[in-house]
Amino acid sequence: KLTTSNYLRHVESMAKVPSGAGSIPHLNAVILGESLASEENDLIFPNVEFSGQALVSSPQKYLEMYKRSIEDPAGFWSHIASEFYWKEKWSKEVYYQNLDVREGPVKIEWFKGGVTNICYNCLDRNVEAGLGEKIALYWEGNEPEFDGKLTYNNLLHKVCQLANYLKDVGVKKGDAVVVYLPMLMELPMTMLACARIGAVHSVVFAGFSAESLAQRIVDCKPKVVITCNAVKRGPKVINLKEIVDAALVDSAKEGISVDICLTYENPTAMKRENTTWKEGRDIWWQDVVPRYPTNCDVEWVDAEDPLFLLYTSGSTGKPKGVLHTTGGYMVYTATTFKYAFDYKPSDVYWCTADCGWITGHSYVSYGPLLNGATVIIFEGAPNYPDSGRCWDIVDKYKVSIFYTAPTLVRSLMRDGDGYVSKYSRKSLRVLGSVGEPINPSAWRWFFNVVGDSRCPISDTWWQTETGGFMISPLPGAWPQKPGSATFPFFGVQPVIVDEKGQEIEGECSGYLCVKSSWPGAFRTLYGDHERYETTYFKPFPGYYFSGDGCSRDKDGYHWLTGRVDDVINVSGHRIGTAEVESALVSHPHCAEAAVVGVEHEVKGQGIYAFVTLVEGVDYSEELRRNLILTVRKQIGAFAAPDNIHWAPGLPKTRSGKIMRRILRKIASRQLDELGDTSTLADPSVVDQLIALAGV
């Protein structure tokens, strides 16, 4: 067993503290090891053997690299970027940035003038390096008896066929393609095919409703929509094609008609004959794509040409189209993947996220494939046929890196250790967590039970907007504290500011911002650069504002404390309270709604809706069900409220602003902490709400 003094000796033996360590104050404590002794109980030390083989083997080594990345970003990142294939090198500047709205429009560019292609770097480059016969993708179906695999050669050929098809039907560089697919190998394949020809993919999570899909189609006006007829999730068949049909009818009403709907037949879920079809528009993938040649010239693009659009929720109703470009995103996802998971060529990597979210873009598809990794794509549900499914998959494929979300950890934890201990899991080496803060008890269960106290946990803090990891442990590099995302990645300068936007040093808590840009940063919100500036760069001028709260302890470790805006995080999915409210009020019987997040044992946060009905309508169980259904229909099942609280009136200030602080307290039944209610236009509303709390 490792003791603190052992660990310190280990650290000392690795390297001397470089001079100038003091210039990065919040890192000093851990780097110098000065306070480790006093915190023994909180710290989980890296295994000496693990550290010995790790890419970053000690705090000193990290500090050395981190310092270089901050002092000379251009040198640091261009050195890494040179490992990729560039048809033409970037201009001398490497990067340009203005993050300060007071100095003019916000603008971020990395490797401008560099000409490359991310699909080429994921596939052709790896094939040329001799990885052609290595497995790129393993596919595990919803039903354990269905699986598949593709080597890097196979994947390249299939991507080329699809790319050729898309070119043939007129998709050109810069055109949008909307993708509504479940976790089949065809999903990353489609993303890569778009990238190959310079088309901009916009993947919509196949759990979104027809209305949400239509909204996204109307916003980005795709040439083609790519989907599949159906998918099975657990025992349930979900008819995706019907959802797409309805979305295409809706978007046509808004004047956006899509000429081609390429549909993959997912035979394990639904036969062709049972699929709804519109002649002339719909076409079976299997009927056309395999006829095309298996090689396809690459469309070389500028580093700053758009790669994809991904819609995410904000604090107003309309989803934001987060735009990522090619070069910086490529370099950043590849590098973060490599270091945060201590990636080795022999690893088998599984991330349970869906490609419909940013995690699936950066860390199912691009990051791992850029590293030539073997990736698992899982179509099913983690508790089907039973709660041991994940560990069954881990043993079946000898998974060594397993990356998931706290909500899944908590739900499996609730089902008991038996499902875990039944399986060997000895292939596991590194664990990862993402989506929300991981509570220390879930962290410990993940570490002790799933990882047999052997595997470091990379708790990666980042966002759709950041493109890749921002604050995350590097496995083996330093001791962990359960529940802390620890320290910034190379090139990232997190700062904690107070309400006035002043940076606070040392032990503190406040708003999490980032100083200076990093290659993976998003460049704009599609079609709305003003909203980009207003949301992210105006709240604290000079900084990127994350929307998260954060504290830093005396050892410099970062602890994320959740969103500070009107966004809630349900099972790691970001949902705007305004979106749910606008869905609720679209019901003819709902006059007004106010939505807040409440603590939820498994989901992290649950959705709690206060609803005022129109005059003359009485609340009923049926109405409650209908309201929930309305939200499912407008956004998707994952956004369905957990609670509906009937509200004859809502607590408002005299100027009509809803006081959510009070609603949050009522929702979590912290009734003795309501605080000052005297500024309300009608304080008696609060008593009414409390009286109705049990209804």
Sole binder of ligand WT7 in the list 225, 434, 585, 598 (CB under 6 A): 434
Helix axes 4-14 and 59-71, enclosed angle (nearest 10): 50
The whole-angstrom separation of Cα 505 and Cα 535 is: 25
110/462 with CB nearer ligand WT7: 462
- Angstrom distance (rounded) from CA 502 to CA 516: 16
What is the amino acid identity at position 42? Answer: D
Tokens of 112: 């401008």
- Contacts of residue 64, defined as CB under 8 A and 6 or more positions apart, other chains included, come to 15, 18
Provide the minimum distance between the beta carbon of 308 and ligand WT7 in the complex, in angstroms, as a whole number: 14
Look at residues 514, 515, 523, 438 and name the one whose alpha carbon lies nearest to residue 482: 438
Interaction mask 641-680, ligand WT7, x per CB under 6 A: ----------------------------------------
Radius of gyration of the chain (CA): 25
Q: Angle formed by the axes of helices 621-634 and 577-585, to 10°?
A: 120
Nearer to ligand WT7, 7 or 462 (CB): 462
DSSP 37-81: GGGGGG-BPPPHHHHHHSSS-SHHHHHHHHHHHHH-HHHHHHHHH
By CB under 6 A, tell whether 437 contacts ligand WT7.
yes
Residue 693 structure tokens: 């709390």
Q: How far is the CB of 549 from ligand WT7 (least distance, A)?
A: 9
Minimum gap (Å) between residue 486 Cβ and ligand WT7:
10
Could you give the angle at which helices 210-220 and 240-253 cross, rounded to 10 degrees?
A: 50
The CA angle 391-52-367, to the nearest 5 degrees, is 55
- One-letter identity of residue 99: L
> For ligand WT7, which is the closer residue by CB, 222 or 547?
547
Show which residues are catalytic.
Answer: 565
Contact indicator for 156, 124 with CB cutoff of 8 Å: yes
Q: Which helix (H) or strand (E) holds 333?
A: helix 327-340
Angle between helices 59-71 and 73-81 (to 10 degrees): 110
DSSP3 helix / strand / coil % (the chain, rounded to 5): 35, 25, 40
Cis bond before residue 385 (omega within 30° of 0):
yes
What are the DSSP calls for 371-432, one per residue? TT-EEEEE-S-TTSS-TTHHHHHHHHHT--EEEE-HHHHHHHHHT-THHHHTS--TT--EEE
Give residues 273-332 in contact with ligand WT7 (rule: CB under 6 A). Answer: 312
- Name which of 26 and 67 has its Cβ closer to ligand WT7: 26
Considering the complex, what minimum distance in angstroms separates the CB of residue 474 from ligand WT7?
14
The residue from 226, 260, 351, 485 that contacts ligand WT7 (CB under 6 A) is: 485
Exposed/middle/buried for residue 240 (C-beta within 10 Å: 0-12, 13-18, 19+) = buried
Q: Based on CB atoms, which residue is closest to ligand WT7, 455 or 650?
A: 455
Q: Which residues contact 453 (CB under 8 A, 6 or more apart)?
A: 447
List of residues 6+ apart from 168 with CB closer than 8 A: 292
- Each residue 604-643 as x (binds ligand WT7 by CB under 6 A) or -, in order, gives ----------------------------------------
Which listed residue (109, 282, 379, 436) binds ligand WT7 by CB under 6 A? 436
Structure tokens at 565: 């805006």
Closer to ligand WT7 by Cβ: residue 132 or 562: 562
Q: Give the whole-angstrom CA distance, residue 618 versus residue 613.
A: 8
Cβ closest to ligand WT7, residue 211 vs residue 548: 548
Q: Report phi then psi at 386, rounded to 5.
A: -150, 180
| Nearest distance in Å: CB 536, ligand WT7 | 11
Least Å distance, CB 617 to ligand WT7, is 35
- Smallest gap from Cβ 28 to ligand WT7, in A, equals 23
Q: From residue 531 to residue 570, what is the string marking binding to ligand WT7 with x (rule CB under 6 A)?
A: ---------------xxx-----------x-xx-----x-
Interface segment toward ligand WT7; rule CB under 6 A; list 93-101, 187-195, 207-215, 429-437:
429-437
Does 579 bind ligand WT7 (CB under 6 A)? Our answer is no
In terms of CB distance, is 265 or 553 closer to ligand WT7?
553
Closer residue to ligand WT7, CB minimum distance, 550 or 663 = 550
CB-nearer residue toward ligand WT7: 419 or 469: 469
Shortest Cβ 74–ligand WT7 spacing (Å) = 26
Q: Give least dist CB 457 to ligand WT7, A.
A: 10
Rounded to 5 degrees, φ, ψ at 180 are -130, 80
Within 356-375, the residues that bind ligand WT7 by CB under 6 A are 358-359
In the chain, count of helices (H) and strands (E)?
Answer: 24, 31
Pick between residue 437 and residue 475 the one whose CB is nearest to ligand WT7. 437
Give the residue nearest to ligand WT7 (CB). Answer: 464
Min dist. Cβ of residue 526 to ligand WT7 (A): 16
Q: How many residues sit close enough to ligand WT7 to count as binding (CB under 6 A)?
A: 23
| Closest distance to ligand WT7 from the beta carbon of 606 (Å) | 16
Residues 447-466: x where in contact with ligand WT7 by CB under 6 A, - otherwise, as a string: ------------xxxxxx--
**121 part of the interface to ligand WT7, by CB under 6 A:** no
* Separation between Cα atoms, residue 310 and residue 355, nearest integer Å: 11
Task: Please provide the DSSP assignment of 248-299 as one string.
Answer: HHHHHHTT---SEEEEE--TTT--GGGS---TTTEEEHHHHGGGS-S-----
- Identified binder of ligand WT7 from the candidate list 356, 380, 435, 520, rule CB under 6 A: 435
Which region among 51-59, 423-431, 435-443, 634-642 touches ligand WT7 (by CB under 6 A)?
435-443
Q: Which residues in this chain contact ligand WT7 in the complex, by CB under 6 A? A: 312, 358-359, 434-437, 459-464, 485, 546-548, 560, 562-563, 569, 572, 574
